[in-house]
Structure 1
Amino acid sequence: MDPTDEKTPKPVDIYRDTWVRFLGYANEVGEAFRALVPVSLVWGSYAVATTYVTADAVDKGKKAAKVSSHTTRVAVAVVDTFVWQALASVIIPGFTINRVCAASLYVLGRTTKLPLPVRKWTTTAIGLSTIPFIITPIDRSVDFLLDSSLRKLYGEGEKHE
């Protein structure tokens, strides 16, 4: 076998390739449960997701610093990762699940005679089941947004991934 045919395995990125990635979805889960839990738990879920976003940005900055001593390149890695993750993992999906749940609770209240606890649990189930469907469209939309704006300032080769 030719050694050039062997592929070196891609290093594992703890923030993208392991269970740690799910911490970025904590706020969506918190929003889905908003009707059932104290609001402090919902805000706690945002703290978890924001910690994940920050840790990923710091990690990408450290990786960029190992490759380049240019402060600007390191700053770009941190800012690009933080902005992308904040939008794609916290702000947009949190808002989306919040609105889906609020709308479903409202519609269930107006169109059914289900007791309030049942409506709240149904809303939570709808919110949780929505999460897998919003991830890819939001990720792609944030890529497009950053490619069309912020990334033009520092060149397209510096994307978060």
Structure 2
Amino acid sequence: MEPSADTHSKPVDIYRDTWVRFLGYANEVGEAFRALVPVGAVWASYGIATTYVTADAIDKGRKAAAAHGERPGKAVCVCVAVVDTFVWQALASVAVPGFTINRVCAASHFLLSRTTRWPLPVRKWTTTAIGLSTIPFIITPIDRSVDLLLDSSLRKLYSEGEKED
């Protein structure tokens, strides 16, 4: 019997390849609902997203440690994996999209209040709908922008360290 294609595929990364990835978007959903929920709920959504980011960084550090074995430089390799993952995820999953959705919702609410006579609850729900519908469109541009930012800054430090080894 021939082995299936699945036996040769990459192992599943629960933080990138499963529903767990959506926990990184919790703060974006929280920001979209800011007009409708207590501010504590928005902050809780940031707590969920930050927990996701931290768990992913720890996971990547453990994987780097396992892959590096007992070779010299293991601590540096693990540190780079943790820092790179944490900084990337903190920017791409929490800070930049949270700010973006916050500003989209604030602008939407402002424009709706200036251009419509809709009742406040309708404006708030419309603002939330606009914020939620924005999320899928901002993910890829933000991810690519954070990659470019890190490639031109922090990751240059890592590559300089590798050249010295």
Q: What's the TM-score, normalizing by structure 2?
A: 0.90
**Deviations 1:103-139 (Å, cap 9, x if unpaired)?**
0000000010000000000000000000000000000
Match for residue 36 of structure 1? Answer: 36
Q: Does 1:152 align with 2:153?
A: no
CA separation in 1, counterparts of 2:11 and 2:149?
28
Q: Does 1:80 align with 2:81?
A: no
CA separation in 1, counterparts of 2:154 and 2:102?
27
Q: Does 1:119 align with 2:126?
A: no
* 1:8 Cα deviation from its structure 2 partner: 1.6
Match for residue 18 of structure 1? Answer: 18
* 1:87 Cα deviation from its structure 2 partner: 0.1
**Deviations 1:80-114 (Å, cap 9, x if unpaired)?**
00000000000000000000000000000001000
* 1:7 Cα deviation from its structure 2 partner: 7.4
* 1:55 Cα deviation from its structure 2 partner: 0.1
Q: Does 1:108 align with 2:112?
A: yes
The secondary structure found in structure 2 opposite 1:155 is: helix
Coordinate RMSD, CA, aligned: 2.0
**Deviations 1:35-87 (Å, cap 9, x if unpaired)?**
00000000000000000000000000000000114100000000000000000
CA separation in 2, counterparts of 1:37 and 1:97?
15
Letter of the 2:155 partner, please give it.
Answer: R
Aligned length, in residue pairs: 156
* 1:155 Cα deviation from its structure 2 partner: 1.6
**CA separation of 1:113/1:6 partners in 2, compared to 1, >3 Å: closer, same or farther?**
closer
Match for residue 58 of structure 1? Answer: 58
The secondary structure found in structure 1 opposite 2:8 is: coil
**Deviations 1:12-45 (Å, cap 9, x if unpaired)?**
0000000000000000000000000000000000
Deviates more, 1:144-153 or 1:67-76: 67-76
Q: Which 4+ stretches in 1 moved above 6 angstroms?
A: none
CA separation in 2, counterparts of 1:115 and 1:154?
54
Unaligned runs of 5+ in 2: none
Q: What's the TM-score, normalizing by structure 1?
A: 0.92
